Structure 1
Amino acid sequence: MFPSISKEIGLPACRDHLEKRQVKLFSTDCVMEALEITLDNNLTVFNGNMYVQVSGTAMGPNNACQYADTALSPLDREIYNCQDIVKPEFYGRFRDDIYVAWSDTLEKLDEFLTWLNGYHRNLKFTMSTPSLEGTEFLDLFIYSKNNRIETTTYSKPSDAHSYLLPQSCHPTHVAENIPYGVANRVFKNCSEESEYYKSKLEFSKYLEDRNYSKVTIEKAFQKVEKSDRNAIIAKDVSSKSDKNEKFFPLVCDFNPGLPPVGKILNRNKFILNLDPALKKEVKPNNVFVSYRGNKTIKETLVPSRLNDDRNIDFFGDTDTSDNVVEHSSTIEEEGCFQCVSKCKACRLFICESKTAKSFHTDYTVSILGRIDCNTVGVCYLVNDKVCRRSSVGSTINNFKSRWQNHKSHIRKSVRSCEIATHFNSEFHDLIKEPLKTFDSQLSNQLEVIIFEKLDFSRCQNQDDKVRVAKERETFWQNQLMTLDCYGGLNKRPATNEIRN
């Protein structure tokens, strides 16, 4: 809906509404000019190119919903004023979802839909298949029974009902309010008692699956059942607070280790009454605590905005199409590469790649940064191409030194590690002399990919580095499933080797 509303229908409707204001703090021309600026300058950057939206409005701006609602208000009025169509018994629109109660023939309903689609070339309306059983609208399922319109709660098949876990790091009242909110919604949406109890059992099960106790759930439903449903669904006509009244939230980052800030605040509100001038400006009841949620693990690992270290000059060089040009010379190619000197380890064993993948899972590791045999502190993957088995290893030194030890132990039949033990087994009949033949045979049977540079920034000594290396090695052994229980070459998790 939002991108489909052209300015030719949106702007006139907005101007018409603005002209009907009783108090015009800002002139209509001023507001319309500001509105056009927001519509004409919706810019975004993708893949180094800058784009501008040329049709409709974006979904993110604060004025987008009001603009879309206002733009279609002439259509809402015309439906009831037009004499050329059969009008619906009831017409209700919430943004781009419309509920129509129809009492005429299906042929006339098709004519009404055709008329709607002729309103403007950019607006296209679709209709759910009419059914005698009823139809869903938002979170309701609406049906007819005994010449009455009845409703019950509706959820999309894709709705996982992933309510906030009660043990999550939130104020306790949040977890207490969620069952009440669910119960209130079920009680409000179900017009028949039988449907209410059916939905109550269904949504109670959803809450129990999210670790809410049966006692908490039952209390929530008992609380709403004491209410009058007609009062809940009635339009709120109570007197609203003065719009000019000032409220003063004390905004804090929530932490379960905090003292009871709300109780402390309430206990000391009397101080505001000690000064007549302050009491006049700040009402004690209008001061309250508001908690701000901290970043979740998901928000930390997957931020809404990607960190782009590329050097993009928005005001410098641009091509003829006004697309932003990025300086590719500053972008370092990522992956596992052979060193500049093309040492024997690189020439014969290291596989240049931007990803790493074992033989035991479809999971693929994307290699971050540029890594080669001289990189200090790495995790690496050894793939046996003959047996099709994989092993993950790590080193706090560079890989070139580590691989010299591996190769030496294989050649001298020293079973010091899983790699040496495996390539000295009956599955591999390697000719150990001369060295050139040994290197050639071994390189045909395995490949190595160095896929992660370890972070030693917080390590204060050698033991800390070893611990970090073994922890990351164990992580990748499980992630790439290279442990023996998965069919891999790693006999045990690497953290078992850490000295306590």
Structure 2
Amino acid sequence: MIHRGDLSSQAMKDTTAALNRLNDITMEDNMLLVTADVEALYTSIRHTDGLTAVKFFLETSNLPRDLSELLLKLLNFILTHNFFTFKDCFFLQTQGTAMGAACAPSYANLFLGAWERKIFLTDPIQGIERVHNWMRYIDDVLFIWQGTLEELHVFMKDLNRNTENIKLTYKAGSEMEFLDIKMKTDKEGKIKTEVFRKQTATNSLLHAESAHIPSTIKGIPVGQFLRLKRICSDELSFEQQAADLKIRFRERGYSRKNIERAYRRAKFTPRKELLCPNEEDKKLKTAREGNATRLITTYNKNWKKLTSTISKYWPILHTDKNISQLITKQPKITARRAQNLKDRLVHSHYIPEKNNPFGTKGPKWGCFPCKNCKACENIQRGDTFWDQKYKKEYKITQYISCKTSGIIYHATCPCGKIYIGLTTREFKLRVGEHIRDIENAKSEEHIESLKTLPRHFKLCHQCNPKGLVFKGIDKLFETSKRLWGRSTYQRWRSLPGERFLNEIEDLQEEVEVR
């Protein structure tokens, strides 16, 4: 029978918890295995019902009242601020929770826990006494029905007649599937189990050549064979499914030696140990790893060199009395998964404003001279440039320094005239050329042979570049710089109100792509 005093025992933590329950069950002739699934659970929970269920369990816990109230407010905010897009339109979800929300599984669990409490304790429905060993993992339910199939149909019909918007689909028989367990009843009434795989399942095992640390690749076969041993209730089913698993590992590039080592370990490990792990050992391991000095970084091809270098020079830190008290004997180096194709190709609808490539303390978009080179004396810092006649400000939407190559730049003469130029080389090289051309114009007798800036400064400023200010205003793409650069140059040259030094020049002569 169901344990009516403690319904928390009916919520399954994982497959192992379900297996331990199934091992103690003996089926009678008039009993059926029943599996049920709650239809669209996450999207069916009304906000008021879900919050009421969470509030009930928070009140029965030992949490302080103010913390419980804060959790309810935060949960209410999450539920009432979930937006999604469909055909380029934004919608607000008014019922249920998003499946991707971190709190969604716990929220759904508590909601169904409150519903179970109602149907078993506070307001039991007719036929509930025929239900034995009710087990649930989020929205998947397994129980044993003592009665006929027709009586089960009536019971499930009554169970679906509720005010919580819960609808269950179900199957019943002597052979059922629950989670990754396939169950069948033998002649003695014992439930035999083996691993369940859908007919449409593909070989999705991690490939042996994927970008993961070697210990992960070696550990996957061990984990999979131990899982087989844990779920398979007899040796024959273990051997049959192990043979199939070996083939699938070979298809994914794993070595025979690695596969065979994992198989032998699982074969000679008692199933009882896998079903009842030593909790003390787990606690000791958790405490030991929790106190370790941990380095977490993204895995890359130089991982072996990185770990060996850290291990080699780590003892140096222990020579310092103060540091040695803060670190452990050896660090725990953990690899974070590197980006895969999905990470690179699939992106969120939310695109943050790319305002700062150097973090919160670095420079924003604009022109930023380094102040360490001679050209920077004539390069102006700023994120905008000004149209004097029309009093209009233009924002620079790229990060440009004196070392940036491939840019459109803006030069302002002391007399107020404007020069727009283009270069594919480093900005500081082009600025330096302009300054030298102006200074060298003193000795040039033929003014017509001078370029725009030197000619202007020879006629108007006695070849003195003082007061000439440059600012990068746009960046070119890496490809097709010439074609794209000329079109962008023309766009900036067409700004209204500017008085251009080079407006009388032929565009072909003036756009200097170097």
TM range (shorter): 0.5 to 0.7
Report 1:327-476 matches (<5 A): 457=478
Following TM superposition, by how much is the alpha carbon of 1:68 offset from its aligned partner in structure 2, in angstroms? 0.6
Match of 1:124 among 167, 170, 174: 167
Deviations 1:219-248 (A, max 9, x none): 101012222211211266336345995554
Q: State whether residues 5 and 122 of structure 1, in contact with CA within 8 Å, keep that contact through their aligned partners in structure 2.
A: yes
1:299-353 deviations in whole A, cap 9, x for unaligned? Answer: 33x31336989xxxxxxxxxxxxxxxxxxxxxxxxxxxxxxxxxxxxxxxxxxxx
CA distance in 1, matches of 2:293, 2:102: 23
Partner of 1:198: 240
The reply on whether 1:41 has 2:84 as its aligned counterpart is no
Contact 1:41 1:52 (C-alpha < 8 Å) held by counterparts:
yes
Give the direction of change, closer, same or farther, for the CA distance of 1:69–1:62 in structure 2 (3 Å limit): same
* Alpha-carbon distance in structure 2 between the residues aligned to 1:284 and 1:108: 65
Which residue does the alignment assign to 1:444? none
> 2:214 pairs with 172, 176, 182, which one?
172
Aligned partner of 1:407 in structure 2 is none
What residue is the counterpart of 2:414 in the other structure? Answer: none
- State the AA in 2 paired with 1:27: L
- Show the counterpart of 1:21: 61
**Residues 79, 87 of structure 1: 8 Å contact kept:** no
| Counterpart secondary structure, 2:169 | coil
| 1:17 maps to amino acid | F
Q: Is the 8 A contact 2:130 2:146 kept in 1?
A: no
The residue aligned with 2:134 is: 91
What does residue 275 of structure 2 align with?
233
* 1:140 correspondence with 2:181: yes
d(CA) in 1 for partners of 2:98, 2:271: 38
After alignment, is 16-25 or 267-276 more displaced?
267-276
- Residues 1:221 and 1:244: Cα distance change in structure 2 (over 3 Å): closer
Residue from 273, 296, 301 that aligns with 1:251: 296
State the Cα distance separating 1:11 from its structure 2 match. 1.1
- Residue 54 of structure 1 deviates from its aligned partner by 0.4
TM-score (norm 2): 0.55
* Residue aligned with 1:2, SS: helix
1:76 Cα offset (Å) = 2.6
Pick closer, same or farther for the CA change 1:243–1:96 going to 2, 3 Å: farther
Residues in 1 aligned to 2:205 and 2:261: alpha-carbon distance in whole angstroms = 18
- Structure scoring higher RCO (CA < 8 A, sep ≥ 6) equals 2
Structure 2, unpaired ranges of 5+: 1-40, 353-476, 483-514
Secondary structure of the equivalent of 2:228?
helix
> Please, which of 286, 309, 323 is the counterpart of residue 264 of structure 1?
309
Q: Secondary structure at the match of 1:120?
A: coil
- Rg: which structure is higher? 2
Calculate the TM-score normalised by the size of structure 1. 0.57
1:58 and 2:98 aligned: yes
**Structure 1 letter corresponding to 2:210:** S
* Residues 88 and 260 of structure 1: CA distance in aligned 2, closer, same or farther (over 3 Å): farther
> Is the counterpart of residue 10 in structure 1 residue 50 in structure 2?
yes
Hey, what's the Cα distance between the residues in 2 that align with 1:23 and 1:277?
Answer: 38
User: Counterparts of 1:255 and 1:195 in 2: how far apart (Å)?
Assistant: 40
* Structure 1: tracts of 5 or more residues without a match: 310-455, 462-500
> Structure 1's 116 and 277: CA in aligned 2 closer, same or farther, altered over 3 A?
farther
Matching residue of 1:152: 194
Match of 2:333 in 1: 289
Partner of 2:381: none
Query: What is the CA distance between 1:181 and its match in structure 2?
Result: 1.7
Contact 2:126 2:155 in 1 (8 A): no
Report deviation, 1:272: 5.3
Aligned residue for 2:249, secondary structure, equals: helix
1:474: which partner in 2?
A: none
Is the CA contact (8 Å cut-off) linking 1:272 and 1:284 kept in structure 2? no
Letter aligned with residue 117 of structure 1: N
Would the aligned equivalents of 2:299 and 2:335 in 1 still touch at CA under 8 Å?
A: yes
Distance (whole Å) between structure 1 residues aligned to residue 196 and residue 342 of structure 2: 29
Structure 1 residue 24, shift from structure 2 partner: 2.3
Match of 2:497 in 1: none
Identical columns (%): 23
Corresponding pairs, count: 313
* Structure 1 position 271, deviation (Å): 4.8
Deviation track 1:144-190 (CA, whole Å, cap 9, x = no partner) reads 11211110011111210221221222211222112112111111110
Distance 2:249 2:164 in 1: 45
**Displacement of 1:49 after TM fit?**
2.2
- The DSSP-based 3-state class of the residue aligned with 2:156 is helix
Contact 2:84 2:91 in 1 (8 A): yes
> Could you say if the C-alpha distance between residues 201 and 270 of structure 1 is closer, same or farther in structure 2, counting changes exceeding 3 Å?
same
CA distance in 2, matches of 1:6, 1:65: 15
Question: By how many angstroms is 1:201 displaced?
Answer: 0.9
Tell me, yes or no, if the aligned pair for 1:139 and 1:155 is still in contact at 8 Å: yes
Structure 2 residue identity aligned to 1:36: N
Q: CA deviation at 1:276?
A: 5.5
Q: Is the contact made by 2:135 and 2:142 (CA closer than 8 Å) also made in structure 1?
A: yes
Letter aligned with residue 206 of structure 1: R
SS of the aligned residue for 1:27 comes to helix
Distance (whole Å) between structure 1 residues aligned to residue 255 and residue 290 of structure 2: 40
Which SS does the other structure have where 2:94 is aligned? coil
Task: Output the amino acid matched with 1:192.
Answer: D
1:273-294 Cα shifts (integer Å, max 9, x gaps): 5556545544445x31122222
